[in-house]
Amino acid sequence: MRRNELTERFRALHVPGQPVVMPNPWDLGSAKMMARLGARALATTSGGHGFTLGLGDGGKVTRDMALQHAADICAVVDVPVNADFENGFGDDPETVAETVRLAAEAGLAGVSIEDIALPAPESYPFDLALARIEAAIAAARSAGIVLTARADGWLTKSYDQAEALRRCQAFAQAGADVIYAPLVDSDTTRAMAATGTPVNLLVAGAMGDLTADQMGALGAARISIGARLARVTQQVILDGTRAMLERGDFTILNGGANAAEVEALMTE
């Protein structure tokens, strides 16, 4: 399917109140499984991808690495893919715009850009953060890709929720296709939804115990899981390896996936 068709399909999935659940695979196998289990859209995760390379999250993966990873996932699934491209791999608006253009060339239907000056946890000053998103929006419109503008400073405790809302409102006013502030509460989510711009929610923090319908009632148009499912698999590695090496206990292996079922999903 042509990328522009996937992009329009992706754009149409963003219905406030009826959020699309967008799982985050971290490699080709998890992407295939999620798509073939019925996911209507997928998104890369910087934390999950970094783990597959033996790297941490937060500015550890290069732009070339992220682009190749995203292109590889796009090549093995037939659903729209959004990319977590962190801060756009540069501080200046021109670099961010170039990253958005490259994202479209990689076959992506969407790309997310955040406001953190990685690898530091501090956010960009408001004016620069807005200028970077404005450049990203212009590039996204030219390239035909869905642009998600992220206010991550609340996540890193660089600013408070009121500032996260102010930034998302400014990003929406500038023309972002989707706005996203990880870990904000229900009141802030409702205020973000009031902008009329689709809102992405992360299943974590205050949202971790809500159902998709309950998140929809807050006005969400999209739900993502970030690296959380990847972290669940990492916990299995931690628990299982410790049990085997420290106690000679191999019982965790009894809970593995059925190989035939997984193989079927890989080869459909």
**Could you tell me the CATH number of the domain that includes residue 12?**
3.20.20.60
User: Is 25:49 a contact under the CB 8 Å cutoff?
Assistant: no
- What pLDDT score was predicted for residue 266? 87
Kindly state whether residue 261 falls inside one of the protein's structural domains. Answer: no
> b or e along 253-264 (b: 16 or more beta carbons within 10 Å of the residue's beta carbon)?
eeeeeeeeeeee
pLDDT at 217: 98
Q: Cα–Cα–Cα angle for 91, 43, 49, nearest 5°? A: 70
> What is the identity of the amino acid at 188?
T
- pLDDT given for residue 267 in this prediction: 85
Model's pTM, two decimal places? 0.94
Q: What is the pLDDT of residues 66-104, one digit of tens each?
A: 999 999 999 999 999 999 999 999 999 999 999 999 999
Structural domain includes residue 267: no
Return d(Cα 210, Cα 215) in angstroms, integer: 6
- Sorting pLDDT into bands at 50, 70 and 90, what band is 268? low
Asked if residue 203 belongs to a domain, the reply is yes
Is residue 253 in a domain? no
Question: What is the number of structural domains in the chain?
Answer: 1
The DSSP-derived string for the chain is --HHHHHHHHHHT--TTSPEEE---SSHHHHHHHHHTT-S-EE--HHHHHHHTT--SSS-S-HHHHHHHHHHHHHH-SS-EEEE-TT-SSSSHHHHHHHHHHHHHTT-SEEEE--B-TTSSPBPPHHHHHHHHHHHHHHHHHHT-EEEEE--TTTTTSS-HHHHHHHHHHHHHHT-SEEE-TT--HHHHHHHHTTSS-EEEESSGGGTT--HHHHHHTT-SEEE-TTHHHHHHHHHHHHHHHIIIII---GGGGGPPPHHHHHHHHH-
Give the Cα-Cα-Cα angle 265, 14, 197 (nearest 5 degrees).
150
Q: Report yes or no on 71 lying in a domain.
A: yes
Of the candidates 114, 102, 180, the one whose C-alpha atom is nearest the C-alpha of residue 145 is 102
Closest C-alpha among 72, 16, 68, 15 to residue 42:
72
* Distances in whole angstroms, Cα of residue 208 to Cα of each of 156, 159, 183, 212, 224: 18, 22, 9, 10, 11
- Burial classification of residue 179, based on how many CB atoms lie within 10 Å of its CB (0-12 exposed, 13-18 middle, 19 or more buried): buried
Domain of residue 87 covers 3-228
Is residue 233 in some structural domain?
Answer: no
The answer as to whether 246 is a domain residue is no
CB-based contact 86:114 (threshold 8 Å): yes
Q: What is the pLDDT of residues 134-148, one digit of tens each?
A: 999 999 999 999 999
Quote the mean pLDDT of the chain: 96
pLDDT tens, position by position, 152-194: 999 999 999 999 999 999 999 999 999 999 999 999 999 999 9
Per-residue pLDDT reduced to its tens digit, 190-234: 999 999 999 999 999 889 999 999 999 999 999 999 999 999 999
Helix 126-143 crosses helix 161-174 at what angle (to 10 degrees)?
40
Residue 68 covered by a domain = yes
Backbone angles phi, psi at 136, to 5 degrees: -65, -40
